[in-house]
Amino acid sequence: MTDFRRRTALGMLGASMAFLAGCSDTSDGTDDGNGTDGGDDASGSDSSLEGDLPSYASILPTTDGSSYFYGAIGVETMYTLLQDEGAESGQEPTDPLVGNPVVVALLAAFGLRLLGSSAGFDAYNGNNETADGEEQFVYADGVYALVGSYDRDALAADLEDAGYTLESEGDAYAVYADDGSDEIVGVTDNVFAYSYPNGSDSSFDPVAAVERTVATAAGDRQPKHEADDDFERLLRAGKNGGIACCLYTANEQFASETLSNDQASDSEGLQFAFGAFEGARGVHQHLGVSGGTATAQAVVTYNTADLVDRARLKSSLGGDADADTVAFARDGSTISVDAKYGGSFATE
């Protein structure tokens, strides 16, 4: 995964935290304060564990690996962050409930900058028919994907005019390559996806990864949630809108290397922090805004109820939240954690 240098990351972090603390325009309209008050545990059914799939679930492809990660954020939110890069510093969160979604925002910013500097940007920008505020950015399987509404035929023609060559196609998708930059682009009526070779992983094939994504979006491949019931339940349990990220394994629990790899490789970079979820097999996190308050949630699933480690979760999550707003709720082998954050992350 991308190495985020601290100076750049903190500038964008300051902008993002100022946005989260003071803007409600991109709110998903939810109040995440379910569970019990005062941080006490509760058993029994939690209605939040039977929600809807995210709108982009149909583009998340199945893969051969046992571990799976994706992050998602509304593009409207991203444009707001990118337009406010004047913040030269920010308070780096130590609370993974906030920190992990913030790294997703940074990853999205990096991906959008890559797109903006590519030869295919004009094709994307000129054939984007998505209604204002509805486009989503998703990172999964090493692929950056924009989910919205696009003129696929015009996109294909413009990419070819820009020098991209056709790599593969189906009835409802096409995959192109730019020899100059090694960028791979895939297009459907509702997805513009792109990727590049991974210098640290020679086994990664960006052509195959992009084709998986657009073929899944076009209905030619089975999406991940249809092939794995436990993954589907995790997606339905988590909240959507705002910023979301999900780490999942088909095994009984995360392998230790899964919790420590895919991090920023430099000690001066911001990192995902998934250590709190050791022993679990799935975590879905959400960070949203409602009425000027940032609200975070994590849904953590374990293979069996005896593996639930609520002490680890309590000691690791919610440390930066407003006092008395952290709530834990348990439903068998699933724990949900909710917390609220005021302006403590806003820059001066």
Q: Is 270 domain-assigned?
A: yes
Q: Is 53 domain-assigned?
A: yes
Beta carbons within 8 Å of 340's beta carbon, 6+ residues apart? 32, 33, 293, 294, 295, 296, 321, 322, 325
The domain tally of the chain equals 1
pLDDT of residue 259: 86
Q: Is 120 domain-assigned?
A: yes
pLDDT of residue 204: 92
Per-block average pLDDT, block size 10, for the chain (348 residues)? 40 47 38 40 46 94 93 78 45 81 84 90 95 92 96 97 96 96 97 92 93 98 96 93 92 88 45 92 88 84 96 94 92 95 52
pLDDT of residue 242: 84
Q: Is 348 domain-assigned?
A: no
Domain that holds residue 67: 6-341
pLDDT of residue 291: 59
pLDDT of residue 109: 79
Determine which helix (DSSP H) or strand (DSSP E) holds 285, and give its type and residue range: strand 282-290
The residue among 274, 311, 238, 207 whose CA lies nearest residue 52 is 238
pLDDT of residue 97: 93
* Diameter over CA atoms, the chain: 60
Q: Can you say how many angstroms the Cα of residue 230 is from the centroid of all Cα atoms in its chain? A: 18
pLDDT of residue 251: 95
Distance CA 270, CA 277 (A): 18
CA distances from 2 to 204, 218, 219, 269, 270 (A): 14, 28, 29, 10, 10
Q: Calculate ∠ Cα 52-54-58, nearest 5°.
A: 110
pTM: 0.84
pLDDT of residue 158: 97
Q: Is 346 domain-assigned?
A: no
**Per-residue tokens: 95:** 């609370």
pLDDT of residue 221: 97
pLDDT of residue 226: 96
CB 17 within 8 A of CB 345: yes
Distance CA 199, CA 202 (A): 6
The residue among 334, 247, 341 whose CA lies nearest residue 295 is 341
CB 285 within 8 A of CB 279: no
